[in-house]
């Protein structure tokens, strides 16, 4: 769960220029983590059972084409871009497909990638450019990382609750919050509004959320999504849920429509993909990807709602 708080630092100066109160210095470590901690695997089960699956189509992308973001992350992880399956995931609620990248040795199948991502609320998915999965041994110690709205997972950590965390970083960076962030700017986690609400609680949502303000907001996003979409919410799963109520409710106030699975029927604000390049081109010259006419593409797999998570797509190298 990487994030670089430095990306938000320019917003501090802008906030001062706009007359918005500056946030407190330091980290959100002056409150203890909630005890006992939240059971994230139980939360995952709640997401699986209660977030609706969207039907769609998976299609292989040939010609050694790969999004530049996937290629860059692969090289940084010491992996060969040629060892990735690249495929499009087209959901019924968005005519623009997402391009995903899966290392051929990953334990997560392309079907798993499609189904898990497809359960995330559409307005959250819109903030993701690409989804990348690599073997855990390639990124030791990392569960997932958000890099310019592309999310790379180790294959042992491909979970909806980690999607909620990583997408929350994109919301924090990009979504303006009225009376908190500068007009047209994100950076909610570093505002006095967020930090003031945090200070009203008795605990932080997790120990990891005490490491930095952006991590605190991202961890709050996990429990806020659970509280919003699972019947009974946090009250049903934690005896001291009220200890973090200000973090949860403030997150929901800021991003309520985005985390609501029923807020929009079709995508309207997809983040633009990174350029398509050739896997073996050191110059990374942008190339065009042919139009997505699924009736003429190879290895088509229709994925309807309710397909079990052990479904394997008929893509090259899927296991």
> What's the confidence (pLDDT) of residue 139?
87
Given a cut of 90, is residue 291 above it in pLDDT?
no
Confidence band, pLDDT 50/70/90 cuts, at residue 77 = very high
Give the whole-angstrom CA distance, residue 282 versus residue 56. Answer: 34
Give the whole-angstrom CA distance, residue 260 versus residue 151. Answer: 21
Give the whole-angstrom CA distance, residue 130 versus residue 150. Answer: 5
**Of all residues in the chain, what percent carry a pLDDT higher than 90?**
78
Averaged pLDDT, 216-226: 98
Write out the two tokens for 256: 């309520």
Given a cut of 80, is residue 317 above it in pLDDT?
no
Averaged pLDDT, 120-139: 96
Averaged pLDDT, 32-56: 96
- Write out the chain in H/E/C secondary structure: CECCHHHHHHHHHHHHHCCCCCCCCCCCCCCCECCCCCCHHHHHHHHHHHCCCCCEEEEECCCCEEEHHHHHHHHHCCCCHHHEEEEEEEECCCCCCEEEEEECCCCCCHHHHHHHHHHCCHHHHCCCCEEEEECHHHCCCCCEEEECCEEEEECCCCCHHHHHHHHHHHHHHHCCCCCCCCCCCCCHHHCHHHHHHHHCCCCECCCHHHCCHHHHHHHHHHHHHHHHHCCCHHHHCCCCHHHHHHHHHHHHHHHHHHHCCCCCCCCCCCCCCCCEEECCCCCCCCECCCCCCHHHCCCCEEECCCCCCCCCCCCCCCC
> What's the confidence (pLDDT) of residue 17?
31
Q: Which of 16-20, 50-54, 81-85, 138-142 has the lowest mean pLDDT?
A: 16-20
Given a cut of 90, is residue 194 above it in pLDDT?
yes
Confidence band, pLDDT 50/70/90 cuts, at residue 25 = low
Query: Could you tell me whether strands 301-303 and 144-147 are parallel, antiparallel, or unpaired per DSSP bridges?
Result: unpaired
Given a cut of 50, is residue 7 above it in pLDDT?
no
Averaged pLDDT, 137-149: 89
Averaged pLDDT, 190-198: 97
> What's the confidence (pLDDT) of residue 1?
46
Confidence band, pLDDT 50/70/90 cuts, at residue 155 = very high
Q: What number of residues does the chain have?
A: 319
- Comparing 67 with 311, the larger pLDDT belongs to 67
Given a cut of 50, is residue 19 above it in pLDDT?
no
Given a cut of 60, is residue 300 above it in pLDDT?
no
Location of structure tokens 């040629």: 82
Cβ proximity of 198 and 209 under 8 Å: no
Confidence band, pLDDT 50/70/90 cuts, at residue 80 = very high
- pLDDT tens digits for 165-179? 999 999 999 999 999
Write out the two tokens for 26: 């330091």
Averaged pLDDT, 190-195: 97
Confidence band, pLDDT 50/70/90 cuts, at residue 14 = very low
Averaged pLDDT, 20-37: 80
> What's the confidence (pLDDT) of residue 175?
97
The pTM (predicted TM-score) of the whole model is 0.85
Angle at 168 between CA 24 and CA 199, to 5 degrees: 30
Cβ proximity of 138 and 118 under 8 Å: no
- Comparing 2 with 78, the larger pLDDT belongs to 78
Please provide residue 110's backbone torsions phi and psi, each rounded to the nearest 5 degrees. -65, -30
Averaged pLDDT, 257-274: 95
Nearest-10 crossing angle of helices 245-259, 160-174: 80
> What's the confidence (pLDDT) of residue 26?
86
Query: Chain-wide mean pLDDT for the chain?
Result: 86
Averaged pLDDT, 241-253: 98
């Amino acid at each position: 769960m990487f994030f670089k708080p430095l990306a938000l630092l320019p917003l501090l100066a802008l906030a001062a220029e706009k007359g918005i109160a500056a946030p407190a210095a330091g980290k959100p470590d002056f409150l203890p983590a909630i005890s006992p901690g939240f059971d994230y695997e139980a939360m995952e089960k709640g997401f699986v059972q209660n977030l609706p699956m969207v039907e769609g189509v998976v299609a292989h992308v040939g010609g050694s084409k790969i999004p530049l973001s996937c290629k860059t992350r692969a090289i940084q992880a010491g992996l060969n871009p040629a060892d990735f399956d690249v495929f499009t995931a087209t959901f019924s609620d968005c005519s623009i497909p997402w391009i995903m990248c899966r290392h051929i040795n990953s334990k997560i199948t392309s079907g798993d990638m499609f189904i898990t991502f497809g359960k995330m609320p559409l307005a959250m998915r819109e903030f993701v450019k690409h989804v990348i999965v690599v073997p855990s041994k390639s990124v030791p110690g990392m569960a997932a990382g958000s890099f310019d709205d592309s999310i790379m997972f180790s294959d042992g950590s491909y979970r909806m609750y980690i999607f909620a965390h990583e997408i929350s970083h994109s919301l924090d960076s990009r979504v303006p919050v009225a009376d908190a962030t500068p007009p047209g700017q994100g950076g909610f986690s570093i505002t006095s509004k967020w930090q003031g609400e945090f200070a009203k609680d008795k605990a932080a949502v997790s120990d990891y959320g005490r490491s930095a303000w952006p991590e605190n907001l991202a961890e709050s996003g996990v429990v806020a999504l659970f509280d919003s979409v699972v019947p009974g919410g946090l009250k049903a799963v934690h005896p001291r849920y009220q200890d973090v109520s200000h973090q949860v409710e403030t997150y929901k106030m800021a991003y309520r429509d985005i985390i609501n699975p029923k807020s929009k029927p079709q995508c309207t604000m997809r983040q633009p993909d990174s350029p398509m390049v050739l896997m073996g081109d050191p110059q990374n010259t942008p190339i065009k990807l042919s139009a997505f006419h699924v009736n003429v593409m190879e290895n088509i797999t229709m994925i309807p709602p309710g397909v079990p998570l052990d479904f394997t797509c008929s893509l090259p190298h899927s296991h």
